[in-house]
Amino acid sequence: MPDIIDQIPILSKRNVQIKNKDKLNDMLLNISKGGLKKLQIVFDFDKTITKQHEDGVPHLSSFAIFSKIPSCLNNEKYQETVRGLRLKYYPIEMDPHIPVKDKIELMEEWWNLSEKAISGLKLTQKDIDEVCLDCKPALREGCKEFFSTLNKAKVPVLVFSAGCGDIVLTILQQSNVFWPNVKVISNFLNFHDDGTITGFKDKPIHVFNKNEYAIKNTDFYNLVEDRNNAIVLGDSLGDASMAQGMEHCQNVLKIGFLYEHIEDALPQYLDTFDIVLVDDQTMDVPRAVFDFIR
């Protein structure tokens, strides 16, 4: 069998970690045989499409950007609540020593409490546009070019985010990457006629239920029914299951971006993702893999 990995030189860089090279080799071979007609790409948003950090300074998540909208920023009760929730739950999300099955219930708690906290706030799309322009996090180097290539190649792209959908969509639009081939599944806000938020439109999507539950019966699912190869990109362990709801997917190549708790988390990331990129703030590896497949 030809050694595909050797044909993609960037995969031998020091920060590119691969546990099972034979499995990756097989998968690359199978996906490239299927070609672009059989391919779909699923991206997480926060810290996957956006950089994890710039010079050590972390980027704001979509929820954090949301909370900077003036009507949220000036609401002390709301600020105190979401700050308290993040302080309690974010370390749990990231802790490599807590098993995923224990994290699920706690993440459900976080998203439900967060939905409760935003209910009753009043804002407009103009507020969302402005806050996104103000705090817009940087997209990974090469992200715009990658999205443009995927659009030209007519490969369906899903941005699957447990963040705030309205912010995610606005950032994608403002960054000129929301091409016609891109769909977003996320927590979109539901508004009352007077502009008051009543909660999320659907049941919350959190970092560990971003899978079959949220993807079935969506436009994207129908669009990719005959595409049985997927590349999945994420920064959280839960992101690796983003294509789980697509039973027809035979080859799912998982690429994980790892930045926090590198030493502790690396073994789990290597077990979960086919390619692990350690502190890599670019789209260079996904683009090289795509260029090989096309």
Shortest approach of ligand TMP to residue 194 CB, angstroms?
24
Least distance to ligand TMP from the beta carbon of 178, Å?
Answer: 16
Indicate whether 273 belongs to the interface with ligand TMP (CB under 6 A): no
The pair of three-digit structure tokens given for residue 97, joined into one six-digit string? 């020593």
Number of Cβ within a 10 Å radius of residue 244: 15
Instruction: Decide: is 200 part of the binding site for ligand TMP (CB under 6 A).
Output: no
Residue 71 has phi, psi (to 5 degrees) of: -70, -20
Of the candidates 166, 234, 244, which has an alpha carbon nearest to the alpha carbon of residue 199?
166
Site track 113-132 with ligand TMP (rule: CB under 6 A), x = hit: -x------------------
CA distance 179 to 231: 18
Nearest 5°: the CA angle 163, 92, 94 is 70
Smaller CB distance to ligand TMP: residue 41 or 85?
A: 85
Among 264, 47, 266, CA closest to 162: 47
Residue 213, helix vs strand vs coil: helix
Least separation in angstroms between CB 208 and ligand TMP: 10
Candidate residues 171, 207, 252, 293; the one interacting with ligand TMP per rule CB under 6 A: 207
Stretch that binds ligand TMP, among 23-31, 32-40, 43-51, 73-81 (CB under 6 A): 43-51
Which residue, among 166, 198, 156, has the nearest Cα to 45 in the 3D structure?
166
User: Residue 164's beta-bridge partner residues?
Assistant: 187
Asked about 22 being catalytic, the answer comes back as: no
Whether residue 193 lies in the annotated active site: no
Neighbouring C-beta atoms of residue 172, cutoff 10 Å: 21
Beta bridge partners of 182: 157
**Which residue in 5, 16, 82, 233 binds ligand TMP (CB under 6 A)?**
82
Contacts (CB under 6 A) with ligand TMP, residues 56-75 = 61, 63-64
Answer for which of 40, 52, 209, 236 binds ligand TMP (CB under 6 A) is: 236
Active site residues: 44, 46
- The residues of the shown chain that bind ligand TMP, judged by CB under 6 A, are 44-47, 61, 63-64, 82, 85-86, 93, 110-111, 114, 161-163, 207, 236
